[in-house]
Structure 1
Amino acid sequence: MATSLHYTFLSFFFLFTLLESTPNPDIAPLLAFKSASDETNSLYNWNSSTDPCSWTGVSCLNNRVSRLVLEGLNLKGSFQNLVFLKELRVLSLKYNNFSGSVPNLSNLTALKLLFLSHNELSGEFSESLTSLFKLYRLDLSYNKFSGEIPAKVNHLTHLLTLRLEGNGFSGEISGVNLPNLQEFNVSGNKLVGEIPLSLSRFPVSAFSKNRVLCGSPLPNCTAEVPREPSPSTGAIASPVSPKTTVASSPSSLPVTSATLSPKNTHHSSGKMSSLAIIAIILGDVLVLCVVCIFLYCFFCIRKVSSQKNGSHILEGEKIVYSSSPYPNTGQTSGFERGKMVFFEGAKRFELEDLLRASAEMLGKGGFGTAYKAVLDDGNVVAVKRLKELNVCGKREFEQQMEVLGRLRHPNLVSLKAYYFARDEKLLVYEFMTNGNLFWLLHGNRGPGRTPLDWTTRLKIAAGAARGLAFIHNSCKSLKLTHGNIKSTNILIDKSGNARVSDFGLAIFATPSSVPKTNGYRAPEVALDGRKITQKSDIYSFGVLLLELLTGKCPSVVDNGSGLATSYGGVLDLPRWVQSVVREEWTAEVFDLELMRYKDIEEEMVGLLQIAMACTSTSPDQRPKINYVVKMIEELRGVEVSPSHDTATDSVSDSPAVSEDNTCGAASQ
């Protein structure tokens, strides 16, 4: 015992020593957590030599860990060490094998979203959870918790989600009163007693598979509804006290010896008995009317209040990892119900599956917000929730989606499905695991960063060029364009290949969704407001190549040597490069991170010449994308993917879809 205590003391002493000695105090608890829980080395890039903000599942704010999302990684044991992450706002450990009781989380005073579902956690409802007053989402479902749901849960006044299904909770829930709840589920437990009025608005499925629950939305309670067995007698008592039982009609009165006496029998058949019955019936009707009016007013006020509070919370706090980032589609009064439309080869699911999926916000762009959605079956997709679209009607939108949905290429992010309704438009894409080019180039620059090497940059340039070539050549009669080429729209798949995303949406752009100061936009589009063309796509791609070469982002203010010229406060990367090359300082153009590699100067200069040709101010002088692909591949003999063959493959090989029908589905 003494040895064990001594070891524990030394462990905590070591942990606190690391907390004090390291620049980021979150490194020590994270590494201690990995050491204790990650037996399969799923968190392989967690090491003390790199920035923790670049580790798998870790996101930071002001250099402190603010979000930790580690789902389905076969992590085990306890997550006790995470209680030292004082700035943590989001913690999701779903679909792992954590066991034991929930550690004391009262230290995580900034925590807003907590997801612990589908583990092996046990014990009673942790009292420390009731002290996390900023919580909006709490999901403890599908574990092995037991005991009662404490009344202190009502202290969580901001709670929007409370999911406790699939556990062994017992006792009553009559004391639960959380006015802002939008999502609630206690099914599959051992709960008894009456459902409180505050929770009766939730569906039957939220209360099913319990021992004995009653009251709306379940059947009404009666005097015979059993409680838990009494510890002293083992008898099952009624949750309804005889003193509080109210008869709604004479037939419900208890039968006693007094009611069966001849005197009372004779009296009950008289005139007064009939009048009493009529009076009781009228009284019942009057009481029922009053109750109905009260309930109607109560729920109307509650609904308005809930909508106001929920909207304020979601917008004000900017929750980026919620149980459902999409609206309650199809359930709002007057809402036009749409449907999910899937393309060939896509795994199908229902809209409700998507609405239930846990979602992580990936980023916001001119056309909407993108989320990573994990469905109940483990399938992972990317969902773009569109906004500010200039769509004349459903037919126009569907026609364009039919064109985009048939584009299949190894260097494109495939559109799997779409959803259209008057107030909501969603696009479902395949999910890319390795992020986007922007973060590979610009994320976490400084000590400890792993730079993007030249071979990888050249591979990404070639892959992006092939993807753009397929878009430009897939439908000759329509002359499709991308319309929004930038580094955040070049995604990287699990094999390290570049995938072009967000293509074909510019047709729906509104003036407010197209920033004129976008550093990728061609001069004729940015200054004159001309229509986006394939030539303007070439210019944007040229800027992308310059970004790969220089390591500079064309969408940030230049604080450099002053050589850059800018419009609207945004670095005009092509002009800056031209000014440096004109002064014969060509070497100054290239990213310093590339200077460590040998024998690549010729290839870099070659790609620079291609980029400068693409960013010519005259659209007619810019090369076509097929020629750009050829020039990039010739720099180092980059191999063409076997599935690539030519850039002019048909949109669809289906005999039912002719090129005229496909290309004529929409117009640019």
Structure 2
Amino acid sequence: MDAHKTLHFTLLILAVHFSLLKASTNPDLNALLDFKASSDEANKLATWNSTTDPCSWTGVSCLQNRVSHLVLENLQLSGSLQPLTSLTQLRVLSLKYNRFTGPVPSLSNLTALKLLFLSHNNFNGEFPDSVSSLFRLYRLDLSFNNFSGQIPLTVNHLTHLLTLKLEANRFSGPITGLDLRNLQDFNVSGNHLSGQIPKSLSGFPDSAFTQNAALCGSPMQACKTMVTDPKKPGSDGAIASPLNPGNNPTNVVSSTPSSIPTNTDPNNKPASPQKTSSSKISSVAVIAIVVGDFLVLAIISLLLYCYFWRNYVKNKTRSKLLESEKIVYSSSPYPAQQAGYERGSMVFFEGTKRFELEDLLRASAEMLGKGGFGTAYKAVLDDGSVVAVKRLKDASIGGKREFEQHMEVLGRLRHPNLVGLKAYYFAREEKLLVSEYMPNGSLFWLLHGNRGPGRTPLDWTTRLKIAAGAARGLAFIHFTCKSLKLNHGNIKSTNVLLDKTGNARVSDFGLSIFAPPSTVPRSNGYRAPELSSSDGRKQSQKSDVYSFGVLLLELLTGKCPSVIDGGGAGMGCGGAVDLPRWVQSVVREEWTAEVFDLELMRYKDIEEEMVGLLQVAMACTSASPDQRPNMSHVVKLIEELRGVEVSPCHENFDSVSDSPCLSEDTLGGLSQ
């Protein structure tokens, strides 16, 4: 027993020793302790002491034993920030809602800083010049302080800046020279700024500029032009407008007679008006003026008539096109009077509420989007039920039997993470697929839609949940009918939909078999490299894994793959890149510096999970198909990242029977 106690005591001493050794070897320890000594009079940072590891202190996060995040908000801190300027690996610094005063010291050593939040303090002095040298900065918030002076044009050096909040200070002078094209969040209200708002900032709401009496231009009131005022002696008649506050602009003579200067003699006596025969307007001149006015009005009226008529014709044509697109499938594929044609019929799958084709044709329809195999519509039936209808117009479909056999396979795939197929319609001129309607849109829109002011970012927990759900759906496709070796063939963010409860549902699976034959497959950002050659290789489960890896990179980076069907520029997807190649090049330098979506920087304690998912994505996008994991392993890896995300009904895909969904006859007809 004594030996056991001795061993226990020895281990305890060793643990304390190693803890002290780790704390003492942290190069940022002294800087943090100096900051606490000078700023924490209320002892809010009680966990900060020299006997523990700084990386475990309140508000401190580390990467590779260096302080990377310092978030100390609403802790009654005061004093100086000077001790923090030696934290050279700091990426996030947030000191909001404290009591700091005085000028901000030079932060030029913090070259890794990405987020800087100093709002709701009592800092004063001019705009901190050193901030303009932090070229990696994405978010800057100096609002609700006592800063004064002008906003320097060196701020334009911060080319990555997404947030600039300077409201409720005492900044003055113009902002005409500000040109930060990537800004998403901007506010300079409640200052003493003047002059014209630059065009690059005019897209922000007027609330971003209010309480600056001398600011003008869109979205505020228009800037006034310069006019002379001869009633003010000694001022040369100049009236200063917000365009040139405090300056004496060049006079612009008014067109009113009172402002026309008169001739004066050397003795400053006004000269008498020159008497000419034009002092009285002749009747001929009056007639000419009236005729001229009439002609001008006639020309203007003609121009307006042409303009509105052209728009009317354009809108009418456009509405007709939209109307025809909206109900494009509502005409019967075969005219009833034409002999020799057999009208198709709706084929429903088990558990689906049946309806007639006429019910579908009468339904109000709304186009959802166009994909690689046709156009999708939302259809509301007479009984109020909603379905999605895909019209296969761009697909290469062989005979009726082949189509029906393949639909039989797809229609029996039922899983919580798949969009279930309800019915199909086949006729020579028309092929329709009816499936469940997903009300919450696609992953593409959640990630890339409205990336600008007012956007609600997609949080990390939701992204991880979507990744796990989509992985489970794809794994089910791969392993539910092993004899067929089914694959999706078109994994991309527009084909991952969300149901009413926010669960990810994989759609458009199994349609790649209808892709038009091509000697050189069309490349896109999700296509596996082995499919980009002209050697005739077909889509496979391993190429699905590659596409899913690209989708994971899209979730992690917030960037678009190089080509998106149904997406693209104008849909929040302007900066498309070759994601696997770009990530590989960045990761060689640093894991988190540039890879991860900036919208994820606001969340704490997720870097380990993000790096873990990044490793899964990079394994999936391996250039060699043999080095990629199968989807059942991908599901396991993702669910292990966070225990709470593990599915309650985790499928053991490897134990699924060879063909639970099909008969031997069907298998024989579909084996390829």
- For normalisation by structure 1, the TM-score amounts to 0.49
Greater C-alpha Rg: 2
